[in-house]
Amino acid sequence: MNSKRHTWKVQFGIFAFLLFFSSPDVLAQAAEWKTETANDGKVIVKSFVTTRTDENGEERQLIEYIATTTDSGGIEKYISLLKDVPRHSEFLNETETRIVRANSDDEWVLYYYTDVTWPFSDTDIVSVMKYSEDIPQKTATFVVTAAPSMFEKKEGVKRYNYYNMMYTFRDLGDGNVELTISAKCSPIDPVPAWMIKAAFPGVVDDIFQKMIKLTKNG
């Protein structure tokens, strides 16, 4: 299968999700928190679309969502998956995900690249990922924050400047774990409003199901 065509088919990953919210029509329809479920109610997704003022004083779309589900795979497997940055491409459907450098044992500079089919431009994200544990709460958290100036730009590739993701895993006991993904992001390019209809809640459910499968397969 042609790699670019395949990328487009699986582009209902996180970056496609960001793009889909760029339409003013979508903003008008989604100016409040919306709750949806997927996978027979096992996945709960709350989303909200507003605007923000960027560093240049320009108004940009702001997409927020919080999604939760549970699994029996055990918290350690999810911690290992998030620390294995090249495997992020397997649940986010990106072309390349890698560590640019390690700042410490619990902090890394990441690079994500997405090879997108026409008419969209290829995109990338440079970010800092920080890992922390809350032993009393039995949680492990990975916070990913855009750091666009920390890695050289590629010609013809558009870079996300506002991107905040948080993955939280809570040990429920007996191998059960609660998975939560939170996001606050601004898209790069506008796209047709009809695309948003295909994005929720499936886009986040797709990420969850891929993560669950990866932890099962090792």
Q: Give the model confidence (pLDDT) of 118-156 as tens digits.
A: 777 899 999 999 999 999 999 999 999 999 999 999 999
Are 190 and 25 in contact, with CB atoms under 8 Å apart? no
**CA dist., res. 136 & res. 68, Å (int):** 21
Token representation of residue 160: 């996300």
pTM here is 0.84
- For 41-75, letters b (16+ CB in 10 Å) and e give eebbbbbebeeeeeeeeeebbbbbbbbbbebebbb
pLDDT in tens, 91-114: 998 999 999 999 999 999 999 999
| pLDDT at position 52 | 80
Token representation of residue 119: 């008419």
| pLDDT at position 1 | 43
Instruction: Give the chain's residues under pLDDT 70.
Output: 1-31, 189-198, 218
Cα distances (angstroms) measured from residue 125 to each of 51, 109, 112, 164: 20, 10, 5, 11
| pLDDT at position 191 | 43
| pLDDT at position 39 | 93
| pLDDT at position 18 | 46
Compute the C-alpha angle 84/90/96, nearest 5°. 80
Residue ranges of domains in the chain, CATH in brackets = 3-217 (3.30.530.20)
